[in-house]
Amino acid sequence: LNRLATAMEKAMKLKKQIKGAMTYPIAVLSVAIGVIIFLMVKVIPVFAGLFSSFGNELPAPTQFVMDLSHWFQSNIWYILGTIFASITGFRAMRANQKGREISDDLFLHLPIFGDLIRKVAVARFTRTLSTMMSSGVPIMEALEIVAKTAGHETVKREIMRARQAVSEGKSLTEPLEEGNVFPSMVTQMINVGESTGAMDAMLGKIADFYDEEVDVAVEAMTSLMEPIIIVFLGGAIGGILIAMYLPIFDIAGNIG
């Protein structure tokens, strides 16, 4: 029970880390997109009315923003409808077994996020399997439980394929090496564990290592995303505001 409680605590910690790492950039980008849409639909049209009274030719950046604002105003319901349809479609896709398999496989190959998902999957797999085996659960039953609690369809498929291979008399290492989920270092360490008869202890060491790897990856990803988001926000909103003030600067210069 103590081992199971420890494993569950670590699994919950991993889940919270992933949610925290993904929630921040998604929330900030959502706010940024909302602010940009508000500027395009509500603020820039006010400038447009002001500039039209000047009768002068607008600078290229200003004209571009004005055209973009006009496009947003003309297509705002299509834009919102597309966003709503995309979210609804994604949820419907995730509710379907085949859809989850496709989306999980895509997530696993995403830059930055894919590597983090892989590390979390390895940590969860090794931690749960180590707990099962050290508690005396037979390998076949343990693999089935681990597959069901994997939380990722691609990982689940790889584990079930490994379970089938083990039932045919093969080692656990062989099918894991053939897949594209588990790094070679992990499969080599599992192979050592099988050879020495200390599989549960070796799996525990792998889990500890990847728990630390997840911590480092989450911190690195957050550190990387923050400046990228700040540059994006500053560039987009600052560029719009500067473009809107260029005609005013030109008029002030002519008056001077």
Question: Tell me, what's the pLDDT at 254?
Answer: 65
Buried residues in 1-33 as b, exposed as e (16+ CB within 10 A)? eeeeeebeebbeebeebbeebbeebeebeeeee
Residue 63 to residue 240: CA distance in whole angstroms: 11
Question: Tell me, what's the pLDDT at 256?
Answer: 54
Buried residues in 96-128 as b, exposed as e (16+ CB within 10 A)? eeebbeebbeebbeeeebebbbbbbbbbbbbbb
Measured CA to CA in angstroms, residue 184 lies from 83, 177, 178, 179 at distances of 40, 7, 10, 10
Question: Residue 197: left (phi > 0), alpha (psi -120 to 50), or beta?
Answer: left
Q: Which residue segment(s) compose the domain that 168 sits in?
A: 2-255
Task: For residue range 25-48, list pLDDT tens digits in order.
Answer: 788 878 888 888 888 888 888 888
Q: Based on the structure, what is the number of domains in the chain?
A: 1
Across the range 228-254, mean pLDDT stands at 82
Across the range 173-182, mean pLDDT stands at 86
Question: Tell me, what's the pLDDT at 109?
Answer: 86
Does residue 6 have a pLDDT over 70? no
Measured CA to CA in angstroms, residue 40 lies from 32, 35, 60, 214, 237 at distances of 12, 9, 17, 40, 10
Task: For residue range 16-28, list pLDDT tens digits in order.
Answer: 767 776 777 788 8
Task: For residue range 144-176, list pLDDT tens digits in order.
Answer: 988 888 888 888 999 999 999 989 888 888 888
Q: Mean pLDDT lowest for which of 18-32, 51-65, 86-100, 217-231?
A: 18-32
pTM, rounded to two decimals: 0.73
pLDDT band at 3 (very low <50, low <70, confident <90, very high): low
Question: Tell me, what's the pLDDT at 86?
Answer: 92
Q: What is the CATH number for 139?
A: 1.20.81.30
Measured CA to CA in angstroms, residue 110 lies from 3, 101, 115, 220 at distances of 33, 15, 8, 16
Does residue 131 have a pLDDT over 80? yes
